[in-house]
């Protein structure tokens, strides 16, 4: 190799080294903040801390709507189907065959989080997690329960699957009852597994309770008498409203037909029952 060729090769290597060094300096100085943010996105995650919805109670403190701890079963379809896992215990809990369960999961392989069942009692969630199935997780949530059932359904209203009010008092006072969910940071490894919990970014604030003028005892009596009257006269519907003549407060408000807000499927079966005629 001639001296000229050696010289050209050395110059080329030197220039390449300068380009690499310049690029590194550029990344370090001009894009340091950007790269740091990108690294944090991969290593630091944020989880939402759900809070319980406020209680609705009558004038004497009797509960009309309360929230109880529950879990939502969430799974990663790709991960849970990637290995030959025994899904029989999970299928038994859902009252389907393993074959039907696998077909159901395959229908949701496009997403990373598929909610298989909501409102799962804590004891059941623990048993299912103890199965050690890859891809199965349980998210902490709350289940709305209505102690008075259909007796106060139209006044109290209902919430949707996201725990947001969509009818009655639940809708009218949704902001007060909802509260503020919290947020917490956590560290995760290259496999996106949580390795350490960090500080709270936003502190959780539970929803506030709501006390209304209803008297649940009078509500029961009005409901019983109205249901009997509608049945006796073969009426299609009926309403009763009891007022305090001194201040105009509503002591009872009932409708027929009614529905039990604790059974979501019933709302679909008889849409007429959702209407508050009073």
Q: Which residue's entry shows tokens 């189907």? A: 81
Domain count, the chain: 3
pLDDT digits (tens, 9 = 90+) for 64-94: 999 999 999 988 888 887 778 889 999 999 9
Q: What is the pLDDT of residue 10?
A: 66
- Report whether the peptide linkage leading into residue 234 is cis, meaning its omega lies within 30 degrees of zero: no
Q: How far apart are CA 26 and CA 45, in angstroms?
A: 28
Same domain, 92 and 138: yes
The answer to whether residue 48 scores a pLDDT higher than 90 is no
Same domain, 104 and 136: yes
Same domain, 35 and 86: no
Q: How far apart are CA 117 and CA 80, in angstroms?
A: 15
SS3 136: strand
pLDDT digits (tens, 9 = 90+) for 186-217: 676 665 555 555 665 778 899 999 999 999 99
Q: How far apart are CA 210 and CA 219, in angstroms?
A: 17
Q: How far apart are CA 136 and CA 139, in angstroms?
A: 10
Q: What CATH number should be reported for the domain holding residue 258?
A: 3.30.450.330
Domain membership flag for residue 103: yes
Which contacts qualify for 162-171: CB closer than 8 Å, 24 or more apart?
163/50, 163/53, 163/67, 167/274, 167/276, 168/276, 169/56, 169/64, 169/65, 169/210, 169/212, 170/56, 170/65
The answer to whether residue 34 scores a pLDDT higher than 60 is no
Domain membership flag for residue 36: yes
Same domain, 220 and 269: yes
Domain membership flag for residue 196: no
Looking at 89, 123, 145, the residue that finishes a domain is 145
Same domain, 77 and 138: yes
Same domain, 40 and 72: no
Q: Which residues contact 77 (CB under 8 A, 6 or more apart)?
A: 105, 106, 108, 109, 111, 114, 135
Q: What CATH number should be reported for the domain holding residue 138?
A: 3.90.1310.10
Closest listed residue to residue 76, CA positions, set 190, 187, 193: 193
* β-strands 250-256, 136-145 pairing: unpaired
DSSP class of 205: B
pLDDT digits (tens, 9 = 90+) for 135-191: 898 988 999 999 999 999 999 999 998 899 999 999 999 999 999 988 877 676 665
Q: What is the pLDDT of residue 38?
A: 53
Domain that holds residue 31: 3-45
DSSP class of 260: -
Domain membership flag for residue 133: yes
Domain membership flag for residue 136: yes
The answer to whether residue 218 scores a pLDDT higher than 90 is yes
Average predicted confidence (pLDDT) for the chain: 84
The tokens of 63 are what? Answer: 């509960």
Q: How far apart are CA 278 and CA 155, in angstroms?
A: 9
């Amino acid at each position: 190799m001639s001296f000229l060729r050696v010289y050209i090769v050395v110059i080329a290597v030197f220039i390449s080294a300068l380009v690499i060094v310049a690029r590194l300096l550029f990344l370090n100085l001009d894009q340091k903040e950007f790269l740091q943010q990108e690294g944090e996105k991969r290593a630091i995650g944020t989880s939402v801390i759900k809070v319980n919805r406020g209680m609705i109670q009558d004038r004497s403190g009797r509960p009309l709507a309360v929230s109880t701890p529950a879990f939502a079963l969430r799974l990663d379809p790709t991960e849970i189907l990637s290995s030959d896992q025994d899904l029989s215990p999970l299928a038994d809990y859902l009252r389907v065959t393993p074959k039907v369960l696998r077909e159901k999961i395959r229908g949701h392989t496009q997403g990373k989080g598929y909610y298989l069942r909501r409102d799962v009692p804590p004891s059941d969630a623990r048993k299912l997690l103890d199965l050690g199935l890859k891809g199965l997780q349980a998210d902490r949530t709350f289940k709305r329960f209505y102690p008075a059932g259909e007796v106060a359904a139209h006044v109290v209203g209902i919430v949707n699957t996201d725990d947001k009010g969509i009818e009655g008092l639940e809708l009218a006072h949704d902001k007060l009852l909802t509260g503020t969910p919290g947020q917490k940071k956590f560290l995760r490894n290259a496999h996106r597994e949580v390795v350490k919990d960090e500080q709270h970014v936003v502190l959780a604030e539970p929803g506030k309770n709501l006390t209304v003028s209803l008297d649940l005892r009078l509500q029961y009596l009005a409901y019983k008498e109205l249901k009997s009257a509608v049945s006796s006269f073969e009426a299609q519907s009926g309403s009763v409203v009891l007022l305090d003549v001194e201040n105009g407060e509503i002591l009872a408000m009932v409708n027929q037909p009614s529905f039990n807000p604790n059974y979501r499927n019933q709302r679909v079966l008889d849409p007429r029952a959702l209407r508050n005629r009073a």
